A and B are shown apart, each in its own frame.
Chain A
Amino acid sequence: MPTPTLNPEKIRSLLEITFGLQSGELRDDTPLFSSGLLDSFHLVEMISVLEKTSGRKIKPGEINLENLDTPDSIAGFLGTPA
């Protein structure tokens, strides 16, 4: 079964729910970690939520700011084959 594509909008609402943010608080290009909005404790949680939702295993080497700092970059990263 093909995994559903996670677009930036879905990522935003997923993160807003996971981290108890106000709906609409995030934009596609909101820096999550480099801005200090989320920290290393949130990161562990985010990885597990993204893996569960996307069905894709995130490798340790893929956990970096380029892939995970904004809803946009997360969507782009998850859209590429593992």
Chain B
Amino acid sequence: MEVTSATFQVIDSKGTVPAEATEWTARVSRLRAALRARGVRPGDRVLAWLPRGWEEAALWQATWDLGAVWVSVPRRNTPEQVTVLLADAEPVVAVCGKGERARLTAGPWVEFPDLFDSSEEDDEPVESPLATGLAALCYTSGSTGRPKGVMVSHENLRGAVSRMETYLRHTPEDRLLALMPLSSPWGLLQWLMARRAGAAIVLPPPVAMASELARTIRATGVTGLAALPPTWVQLVDFLDSQREPLPCLRYVTTSGGVISRRILDRFHTVFPNAEVWMTYGLTEAFRTTVLPAGEFHLRKGSLGESCPGVTIEIVRPDGTAARPGEAGELVHVGDCVTLGYWRQPEMTVRSFGVRPGHEALFGENPVHYSGDQVRRDEDGFFWFEGREDELIKSGGYRISPSEIEEILQAVPGVIHSVVGGIPDEALGQRIAVALELDDEGDDLLDQIRLVLRQKLASHQQPHQLRIWPGRMPLNAHGKLSRPEILSWLLASEP
């Protein structure tokens, strides 16, 4: 799988091949030499905070070749959030874009172009990474508000590639639009599949507006499109309103949350030649189910069935398996499960440890408790029922209410804050905030918005700030009565 097929290429959103990307192998080799020279050894972390492009992908491949661990920080994270992840991952080298180093705090930062200071290529042998070795840390939000680095192994990635290739079946004729970031397993898998099949990766336009996406897909003849729910809502609405379908797409595949029937019903109008592969997975156990394209019309909205080689159990709290049709917590079992959370043993035990009473069902196998309530129907297809915790799922991302609340509590003038999700067609859920303030001034609200923007990435930005009239209600323990405040947020929807 480490082999890059000779026909693999990178194409930009206008349809041309960036000059630098034509010398892919040489570029990767020089990056490898640069990383080695900076002391990167197997198991060390290499962190990247870069715009989408061939540069980031080449750096990732060089990291992989050295047996080092890839950590990509989503581009929409603020410098402050980058600093938090830097401290957590402790990389030997951290790479940012040209001219960006000054915006970042101390750390082993190097600007990407400076990695090419020496023109030397790497002549040392490339080691084949151990199957169980760590390939990447993929950061995700946790219920505590502190980001967690999911430890993704080479074996996890290899397994997912072979599962996905059973239905996506890439060939050198394929062109995959790389919308998924290299901070997520799916982003990594897209590049791995393209390299292995000798297909082309098409870089996304600078802004993921539906009109721009459609233009790029048409101009470059994209055949395979993977995206999250918000993109599907915008793209389907746009294409349908323009009466401009995209016949070049051979498949579309989606994950990351529920998509409304209104949108799903028009998939075949706007993607007339595309097979539709609906999937489910988490950062902790990714690309594990698929709804066969032939079943799409019959079971729209289903999460699909377990992929070959994947074991999924739906369990009751007492550790027995739920009956067909009965909702329970979805648990992944076996090789598809990642290695836990980086340097967070307690949180790892909480999600990856077999719970008391569950030993009979899981034995010694690796497991991951998803926190998703799911039922399996008589035919083996999964259906999403809801979440067990307070995590908000917005735009395909998990959002931690407590992470936002902690920031709000630190703003002078904020007495209490409660963050919750409100149903939304485009995003799945919108982020709403109820605030108790010691002063009702607009100035304070403006100040709050400013702080939120400085501290949180765009997908974490609350969509509504509402001021609770008077004092927020407390429960018998003297804590905020969250259910009452959350239902007020729902009810005060405009």
Contacts and interface: CB of A to CB of B under 8 A. Distances in A.
Interface of A: 17-22, 33-34, 36, 38-45, 59-61, 63-65, 68
Contacts of B75: 36
B211 A45 contact: no
A49 to B, nearest CB: 10
Contacts of B234: 40, 44, 60, 63
Given A40-B230, A41-B395, A44-B426, A64 B458 contact: no
A65 B207 contact: yes
Contacts of A36: 51, 75, 206-207
Given A20-B452, A20-B454, A44 B211 contact: no
28 contacts: A17-B449, A18-B449, A20-B446, A20-B449, A20-B452, A20-B453, A33-B206, A33-B209, A34-B206, A34-B207, A39-B208, A40-B230, A41-B230, A41-B458, A41-B459, A42-B458, A43-B209, A60-B238, A60-B240, A61-B241, A61-B242, A63-B234, A63-B238, A64-B209, A64-B212, A65-B207, A65-B209, A68-B209
Contacts of A22: 450
A17 B241 CA distance: 31
Interface of B: 51, 75-76, 206-212, 230-231, 234, 237-238, 240-242, 395, 426-427, 446, 449-454, 458-459, 461, 463
Nearest to A35: B206
A17 B461 CA distance: 13
Contact of A39 (B207, B240, B242, B450): B207
Contacts of A63: 209-211, 234, 238
Nearest to B215: A64
Contacts of B206: 33-34, 36
Contacts of A18: 449
Given A17-B449, A20-B452, A61-B242, A44 B207 contact: no
Contacts of B454: 20
A40 B427 contact: no
Contacts of A39: 76, 207-208, 458
Contacts of B241: 59-61
Contacts of A17: 446, 449
B395 A65 contact: no
A52 to B, nearest CB: 9
A44 B428 CA distance: 13
A65 B458 contact: no
Best-buried of A19, A38, A40, A43 by chain B (most CB within 10 Å): A40
B450 A20 contact: yes
A22 B212 CA distance: 28
Contacts of B459: 41
B209 to A, nearest CB: 6
A3 B492 CA distance: 26
Given A33-B206, A33-B209, A60 B237 contact: yes
Contacts of A59: 241
Closest 6 CB pairs of A and B: A20-B453, A64-B211, A33-B207, A20-B449, A60-B237, A41-B458
B207 A41 contact: no
Nearest to B460: A41
A18 B450 CA distance: 9
A64 B451 CA distance: 29
A65 B453 contact: no
Contacts of B449: 17-20
A52 B211 CA distance: 22
Nearest to A44: B426
A14 to B, nearest CB: 12
A23 B454 CA distance: 14
Nearest to B445: A17
Given A20-B454, A21-B453, A60-B237, A40 B446 contact: no
A20 B426 CA distance: 23
Contacts of B453: 19-21
Nearest to A42: B458
